[in-house]
A and B are shown apart, each in its own frame.
Chain A
């Protein structure tokens, strides 16, 4: 295991919008630091001029003709909604500019 990078677990939990207990923060913080240390191996590789590979094969995204299909009935789209009213999803009050 090599150097352990800094992990700001609070900030990461905020970015990921996951509530963590204090124990979870401590455990994940330490495990993540180990894992990131394990990732350091990659930093030694010379990647000059190497294309990043986002997809395994040379291919193109297909383009669909602009033709509208049949939409779903609202009941189908909301069939798993934890709360709905007037065919809309209910969410607790949105505090602006989150």
Chain B
């Protein structure tokens, strides 16, 4: 295949082309490596990539195919990896100085599943440090530009994963989502992103930010691709005690099953003040489109929505403050050379190794857990979390899925919010509740703003109903394909 058509093809189509012998893994990987070479200087999606490693894996896949081995339909396809997912021998920096030199001595469950499916890890993608942020500006190493306008942020924390797909630097990628970190950058960059139900994808090998909220999820250019990648990484893992042990329906199978258009709920709390006029306009078009497809639209209420952001930040920072204690200058991280003794080693190594947002959140988390405040903050937040979850469960008695904007505005400018943590935290206002309730959330592109920046909408599904959720997404995508391309 021509490099240009490789870059334009969906992962699904590339897989078919490989199967038919129309191309090779080496041809595909080379095309994307050249693309990275050509555009990543402007986009800055990749923290690192080792072309020899990628090509060696591509050649191994081609050899498997040539030997006539039984192969997964995705064998030989490259996948961009957010630099927070452990694969043996690859860096795992989490975009932090403290792990700058770290090479993972092990592969986590998602990494193992990728490798078992013959997929090729394709570089380490930029992110907010330890996934804390909504703009990828908190990376210790580089800024990532939004491919649609590199003065604008790609969103975050999986900004590199979204930007790389939007810029055609890889056919698809993996991100992680704790409060919107897949969906918000997907919306900002005009790609499809899915945060799976909590427990569907193993967290073993995902560097923890907030353990009770984190999930790895797929990002791609089509619903079909996202479904296929979800199926690769889903499944019970005995190494993750929060992993779901129940039966899971493969999403890509369910995607093409016949189904009746259902009922979509519009939570009135998500359509109030604070939404950009163009976002609102595009959402109205999406609603009309669904009505045109036969879906029933129903207004619902999620009354505890306004509590979601504070609840989220209390829980997430508390868990993070403890999760990040292990980065201490002792066993495997950056070690300060200024330390006078072992205690000082902690202060200096962490002081030098962590960026501003990480320090802020770890300190905040230490506060909400500290003696005398636990009940008022952490425990209370977990109680409010129950109320937020119950809002959703109640809503799902009336509707099949919930439709909301993914973000209140299109991508903001780099530097616009970096000194105002609360305003940055509010960028996640529509995505956060989904993590608190543990539900699956899908962000789909639905057009461009007048400034040429993508706008996305979010579909929230019932627990483990990713198949149905993706079907709903596919119905829209089929009807209103998002075909615009960023110019790079």
Contacts and interface: CB of A to CB of B under 8 A. Distances in A.
A binds B: yes
B376 interface: yes
B145 interface: no
B367 A36 contact: yes
A26 interface: no
A12 B362 CA distance: 9
B387 A50 contact: yes
Nearest to B463: A57
B438 interface: yes
B479 interface: no
B389 interface: yes
Interface string B356-387: 10011011101100100000110111111111
B21 interface: no
Contact of A31 (B335, B354, B421): B421
Nearest to A32: B364
A28 B331 contact: no
B383 A52 contact: yes
B437 A95 contact: no
Nearest to B310: A39
Interface in A34-67: 34-36, 38-39, 41-43, 45, 47, 50-57, 59, 61-62, 64
Contacts of A76: 105
A39 B328 CA distance: 29
A4 B387 CA distance: 25
A19 interface: yes
B360 A80 contact: no
Interface residues of A, number: 52
Nearest to A77: B105
B198 A98 contact: no
Contacts of A41: 306-307, 310
Given A56-B212, A80-B105, A45 B321 contact: no
B347 interface: yes
A18 B347 contact: yes
Interface stretch (B181-189, B216-224, B239-247, B250-258): B239-247
A47 B381 CA distance: 10
B41 interface: no
A45 B299 CA distance: 24
B333 A82 contact: yes
A81 B339 contact: no
Nearest to A24: B359
Contacts of B71: none
Interface of B: 101-103, 105, 197-199, 212, 238, 241-242, 244-245, 304, 306-307, 309-311, 313-314, 321, 325, 328-335, 339-348, 350-352, 354, 356, 359-360, 362-364, 366-367, 370, 376-377, 379-387, 389, 421-422, 437-439, 463
14 contacts: A12-B367, A12-B370, A13-B347, A18-B347, A19-B352, A20-B351, A20-B359, A35-B422, A39-B310, A45-B380, A56-B198, A56-B439, A57-B244, A81-B331
